[in-house]
Amino acid sequence: MTSLPSSVDVAIIGAGAAGLGAAHALDGSGLSVIVLEARYRLGGRAWTVQPSPEVTFDVGCGWLHSADKNSFVAIAKQLGFELNKDLPPWRERAYGNAFPQSERDDFMRAMDAFYERMWKAAQKGKDEPASLSLEPGNRWNPMIDAISTYINGCELKDMSTLDWDAYEDTNLNWRVRRGYGALVAAYGAPCPVALSCNVTLVDHSGKRIRIETSRGTLDAGKVIVTVPTNLIADEAIRFSPPLPSKVDAAAGLPLGVDDKVTLALEDAEAFPKEGNLRGATMRTEMGTYHIRPFGQPCIEGFFGGSFARALEDSGEGAIAAHSIDEIAGFLGNDIRRKLKPLYESRWARDPFAQGSYSHALPGHAGDRAVLAAPVDGRLFFAGEATSPEFFTTAHGARDSGERAAREVLAALSRL
In the predicted structure, residue 92 carries a pLDDT above the cut 60? no
Q: What is the DSSP letter of 415?
A: -
Backbone angles phi, psi at 12, to 5 degrees: -110, 125
Angle among Cα 283, 284, 290 to the nearest 5 degrees reads 100
* pTM, entire model: 0.96
Same domain, 124 and 243: no
On whether the CB atoms of residues 108 and 140 are closer than 8 A, the answer is no
**Residue 80, domain member (yes or no):** no
Total number of domains constituting the chain: 2
Residues 348-358: tens digit of each pLDDT: 999 999 999 99
Domain final residue pick, 354, 369, 401: 354
Of 57-66, 115-124, 283-292, the one with minimum mean pLDDT is 283-292
Domain with 157, as residue range(s), is 88-171+258-354
- The mean per-residue pLDDT over the stretch 120-146 comes to 94
What length does the chain have? 415
Residues 172-217: tens digit of each pLDDT: 999 999 999 999 999 999 999 999 999 999 999 999 999 999 999 9
- Amino acid 93: pLDDT: 59
The confidence band for 90, taking pLDDT boundaries of 50, 70 and 90, is low
CATH of the domain at 307: 3.90.660.10
- The mean per-residue pLDDT over the stretch 319-331 comes to 96
Residues 60-71: tens digit of each pLDDT: 999 999 999 999
Same domain, 382 and 408: yes
Same domain, 220 and 298: no
β-sheet bridge partners, residue 240: 203
